[in-house]
Structure 1
Amino acid sequence: MPADLHFTKGQGTGNDFVLFTDADGQIDLVPTQVAAICDRHFGVGADGVLRAVRSENIPEGAAALAEDPAAEWFMDYRNADGSIAEMCGNGIRVFARYLLDNGLAELAAGETLVIGTRAGVRDVQRSKLGFQVDLGRWRLDGGEPLVRAKNLQVPRPGLGINVGNPHVVVALADDDELAEADLTFIPHVEPEPEDGANVEFVVPSEPLVRDGVGHIRMRVHERGSGETLSCGTGAAAAALATRHWAGAGAPDHWSVAVPGGVVGVRMFPTEDGEHVALSGPAELVYEGDLAIA
């Protein structure tokens, strides 16, 4: 029999999600149910689904609690096609907003909210833009594959970067190329990453650096979701790639313009290596009840 699912719709720079609470881990949606919810014509419409489950009640939560016992809540993230994803930079900020607004967690100024994910524990703090999340250590990963995209005349070299999930970043010459790329088609990456990858197309601003901050523009095709208005981890990967290409003297603070707005990226040293942080807005849009089969 169909059951009702109480949900909240949220978004961060246009990257939108359906969120619901399942504290005890009793609601395990199958991929077809997630895809139906995310369908923009016959469902609620979203880039993905975020389930709020207590870490102690999901198998993957054991690793989160072992890493940090304060990780009471686990962000169980599914792409729009129902596939599982490791992390989502915009999603975790919206997830934090959801926990706070529903009285499931508290976060005073200067304090940290610890959230479990499949990429490990992530720390969220309030920021001027809304929320900032420490995405943890990043790494070059996946080499420099060739990327083909519809309406781009020749394949372009990309740079593989992992920020808890896999990305391939491609530099384009100008805004015209960025606009011409047809991302309704999945970009073809050679060699194909074993677990797939989000693919970011980036154009540097002119000048690249203003007042010590780097500025780039980006579009993205997300693995399992298609082109989205924003990708938080993708923005971090794009900034990291641009800094890598720019070489010595490139800044550690970046402003990344995406179709849905602007997010901030910051690189900073820690005892276990360089981390990258993402900041940006997070809003809850509406609530409702949905019958799921």
Structure 2
Amino acid sequence: MPGHFVKFHALGNDYLVFDEGDLTFPLVPEAVRRICDRRRGVGSDGILLVVSSEKADFGLRIFNPDGSEAEKSGNGLRIAAKYLYQHSRTNKEIFAIETRGGIVQAHLKIIDWVVVNVSVEMGRAEVGPAERLDAGTDVVPVNIGNPHAVVFVNDPNSVDVPVVGRRIKT
């Protein structure tokens, strides 16, 4: 099993946070998949690996549960920022974190040494052209460091989200 780690939750996402200095094994895709497996591993939406950076106060590698590496994650960055403060890696309320998708500023609101809010500057969203999925369903690609698909509908209750999701994925 892995060395020391912490599990955090943020807005419906859960991540495991590792510090590169505490890692006792190579964080290869197969290891990430096994650790993130909710039935046989610890279970999580991904792994955050705090690393050193020459360009920012800290570096962060973000792994998806399939073992691939993401460029950015808003919730992941917020979790990492709180982790860094809570584990005495910084005492700053504003600091920079380098990701594969660029450098992000983290802003902590601290009251009596407790982090009560974290926000991150994700940068400007890149919006692509809308594509028609079917009659009445348009999909707009939006990238904020990691790709998203935005679907506008008149009645959200009339949409079979898993079906639309599978169609977008293909």
TM-score (normalised: structure 2): 0.84
Does the aligned pair in 2 maintain the 1:24–1:54 contact within 8 Å? no
Aligned to 1:256: none
Q: Once the 2 structures are TM-superposed, how far is the Cα of residue 107 of structure 1 from its aligned partner?
A: 2.5
Match of 1:124 among 106, 117, 123: 106
**Matched-pair identity in %:** 33
Q: Secondary structure at the match of 1:87?
A: coil
**Which residue among 120, 133, 143 is the counterpart of 1:162?**
143
Distance 1:147 1:80 in 2: 27
Alignment of 1:23-38 (within 5 A): 23=21, 28-38=26-36
Q: Which runs of 5+ in 1 are unaligned?
A: 57-64, 66-70, 149-153, 193-293
Which is richer in strand? 1
Residue among 122, 142, 154 paired with 1:173: 154
Q: Is the 8 A contact 1:9 1:19 kept in 2?
A: yes
Equivalent position SS for 1:91: helix
Once residues 133 and 69 of structure 2 are traced to their aligned partners in structure 1, the CA distance between those partners, rounded to angstroms, is 24
Q: Kindly provide the amino acid, as one letter, of the partner of residue 41 in structure 1.
A: R
**TM-score under structure 1 normalisation?**
0.51
Shift in Å, 1:38: 0.7
Q: In the alignment, what sits opposite 1:187? A: 166
**8 Å contact 2:108–2:118 — kept in the other structure?**
yes
Q: Which structure is higher in RCO with an 8 Å CA cutoff and minimum separation 6?
A: 1
> Structure 2 CA distance, aligned partners of 1:188 and 1:31?
26
Q: Secondary structure at the match of 1:5?
A: coil
User: Is contact 1:23-1:54 (8 Å) kept?
Assistant: no
Relative to structure 1, the CA distance from residue 43 to residue 19 in structure 2 (aligned partners, 3 Å threshold; closer, same or farther) is same
- C-alpha displacement at 1:72, in angstroms? 2.5
User: Which consecutive segments of 4 or more residues in structure 1 shift more than 6 A?
Assistant: none
Quick one: distance in 1 between partners of 2:103 and 2:145? Answer: 10
SS of the residue corresponding to residue 136 of structure 1 reads coil
| Distance (whole Å) between structure 2 residues aligned to residue 147 and residue 119 of structure 1 | 28
| CA-based RMSD | 2.6
Give the gaps of 5 or more residues in structure 2: 111-115
